[in-house]
Structure 1
Amino acid sequence: MRFYHEVLGWTFQRLRDAGGHDYVQALVSDEPVAGLRPHNHSVRDWTLYLSAWDLAATTERARRLGGVVLEPRPHALPGVGAPVLIDDPSGAGVGLLELAGGQAFTAGVPGSLVWVEFVTRHAALADRFFGRLFGYTQRQFGDGHQVDYVVYSIGDDSALGRVRMALDTPADTPPRWIAHFAVHPDVGFNESLRRAHSAGARLRFPPYTSSLGKVAVLSDPLGTRFALIDPSLAAEWEYGSAADDPYDD
């Protein structure tokens, strides 16, 4: 909480889920942008939750498509909704969330989630699973061989990027979801990166510029990986992602 307050300006409110477990909601301008909860082990990445109109139906469809349901009886979060965790067939965990009536998380503004990349070696399997689960259309960037970056979209709205790991990535490198949080325009990319470093972050991949913005992949003081992005510094599309991380672990 201290780290993300210093870097992204988050404030927090404490809640309890339906099972009586602690839950912290992160806020930007009093709007929810993320959630935190205690965990007994280190957490490699932020958990992404994809919105489901009908949680039971989407969970069952994920199971039929080869996913493994990890939380068959979710604990509802007050003012948030009911979440379920699954392992998709390509080897990574992801959440499904049916939002409570009238509720929504804020995204796409400074301090919040603006982009997500799913990095996996089983690219074709991921494309098939998520395409069938949510009806994503898929657009290939790069040549599909040396550079394999696919954007999943719903209608005209892009949802996330799927990245195939480099062919020489070590076999024990796990798949991962990289959450990209936007820096504040009045703070800027370099100052945000400096604040993150001062607050205990580790740079995991040299900053690069893409059509989405300038990006730095970091791990926070607890080792959880994420990215800072400045959309105002977007340039012509040039491939770069956490898949190329020279410090894969």
Structure 2
Amino acid sequence: MIISPPPGGPGWLELATTDPERSTRFYQDVFGWTYQQVTDGTGQGYVVASLFDEPVAGFRGHRAAVRDWTLYLATPDLAATSAHAYRLGGGVLETRPHVVPGVGAKLLVDDPSGATFGLVQPERGFTAGLPGTLVWAEFVTRQAHLADRFFGALFGYGQRQFGDGRATDYVVHSLGEDSVFGRVRMDPGTPPEVPPRWIAHFEVDPDLGFDRTLHRARDAGARLRFRPYSSTLGKVAVLSDPLGTRFAIIDPALASDWDYRSAADDPYDD
């Protein structure tokens, strides 16, 4: 379903890749996405991915390898929200918005704990919450309290702690009754060179199921990061695509008691 996101809700999802053709082929093989090539406001090519003719994500070329999908949070006033992010200690990474037809105007921002996310003033909604699309995102960081203060002040998220906040520190950021993303404190044993990161979670097709989706992804060139685990959200496998970008598949039908595992348990930056 195409959603019109509220301020602070997921507004777009994007992959910057050194090889757009290889990246798009992989996600087409796994999720059945189709693609439309558009020209952005700078005259550069941009690929809009769709599922059943509804937009689900974007791809843009990038000179260096990028290890994560970028989640964009929606705002009705991009200039005001990016200025607010800067005042809160964020780093605005672009001097002017990147405008994509059918998507909107967007900017990249580093939060104070060091991970990149996006702000978007959407031209339209995008499809999420269905099989083959984004259904959840986790933000993994060492500086958990710093991240919570920043995002809480930026969009006024409600924050609910799961775990004891020490040995297990998982906070869900919400708008009213709607969860937006989970913030995970990185395992203390993680090597210091491993950066904070976002992990986009895509729902499996129930007609295909978890195991067959995982096999399909591995046949297409994905690497399984560690053993699949279960949570109250569903059964999860964290993978990296053929170019090394991390993502997860999740099957809500296989939800079970929460065991507090997450993408934070992958300590490797490779």
Q: TM-score range by the shorter chain?
A: over 0.9
CA distance in 1, matches of 2:68, 2:114: 14
Q: Does 1:11 align with 2:29?
A: no
Contact between 1:205 and 1:242, CA under 8 Å: does it hold in 2? no
Q: Does 1:66 align with 2:104?
A: no
Unaligned runs of 5+ in 1: none
Task: Quote the residue 1:106 is aligned against.
Answer: 127
Contact between 1:214 and 1:231, CA under 8 Å: does it hold in 2? yes
Name the count of aligned residue pairs. 247
Q: What amino acid maps onto 2:252 in structure 1?
A: P
Contact between 2:128 and 2:134, CA under 8 Å: does it hold in 1? yes
Alpha-carbon offset, residue 247 of structure 1? 3.3
Pick from 186, 196, 202: which aligns with 2:223? 202
Task: Quote the residue 2:149 is aligned against.
Answer: 128
Unaligned runs of 5+ in 2: 1-23
CA distance in 2, matches of 1:144, 1:235: 21
CA distance in 2, matches of 1:189, 1:45: 22
Alignment of 1:87-166 (within 5 A): 87-100=110-123, 103-166=124-187
CA distance in 1, matches of 2:260, 2:195: 21
CA distance in 2, matches of 1:209, 1:182: 14
Q: What amino acid maps onto 2:70 in structure 1?
A: T
Segments of 4+ moved more than 6 angstroms: none
Q: How far does the alpha carbon of each residue in 1:91-136 deviate from its partner, in whole angstroms, 9 at most, with x for none?
A: 1111000001xx1111000000000000000000000000000100
Alignment of 1:18-29 (within 5 A): 18-29=41-52
Alpha-carbon offset, residue 81 of structure 1? 0.3
Alignment of 1:202-221 (within 5 A): 202-221=223-242
Percentage of matched positions with identical amino acids: 67
Pick from 60, 76, 79: which aligns with 1:53? 76
CA distance in 2, matches of 1:92, 1:222: 19
Q: TM-score, normalised by structure 1?
A: 0.97
